[in-house]
Amino acid sequence: MAQRLAGKSAVVTGGGDGIGRGVALALAAEGARVVVNDIARESDGTSKADSVVAEIVKAGGSAVANYDSVATMSGGDNIVKAATDNFGRIDILVCCAGNHNRMPIVEMTERDWDSIIEVHLKGHFTCCRAAAVEMVKQKSGRIINFSSRAGFSYFVGPPNSVAYAAAKAGILGLTAQLSGEMKEHGITVNAILPSAVTKLFPEERPKVGGGETGAPDTVAPIVTYLATDEAQNITGQFFYATGGDICIYSRPIQIPGPHMFIRKPGKWTVDELIEVIPPLVKLG
Task: Kindly state whether residue 251 falls inside one of the protein's structural domains.
Answer: yes
Task: Kindly state whether residue 3 falls inside one of the protein's structural domains.
Answer: no
pLDDT tens digits along 10-53: 999 999 999 999 999 999 999 999 999 999 998 888 999 999 99
pLDDT tens digits along 214-265: 688 899 999 999 999 999 999 999 999 888 888 888 876 655 566 788 888 8
CB of 135 closer than 8 Å to CB of 86: no
Residue 284 pLDDT: 37
CB of 243 closer than 8 Å to CB of 253: no
How far CA 101 is from CA of 26, 31, 153, 158, 164, in Å, comes to 28, 36, 18, 11, 8
Domain span at residue 40 reads 9-280
Q: Which DSSP letter does residue 92 get?
A: E
pLDDT tens digits along 186-199: 999 999 999 875 56
Q: Annotated catalytic, 164?
A: yes
Computed over every residue of the chain, the mean pLDDT equals 89
The catalytically annotated residue of 67, 154, 164, 240 is 164
Count of domains for the chain: 1
**Cα–Cα distance for residue pair 24/263, rounded to 1 Å:** 24
Task: Kindly state whether residue 88 falls inside one of the protein's structural domains.
Answer: yes
**Cα–Cα distance for residue pair 207/276, rounded to 1 Å:** 21
Task: Kindly state whether residue 4 falls inside one of the protein's structural domains.
Answer: no
Task: Kindly state whether residue 2 falls inside one of the protein's structural domains.
Answer: no
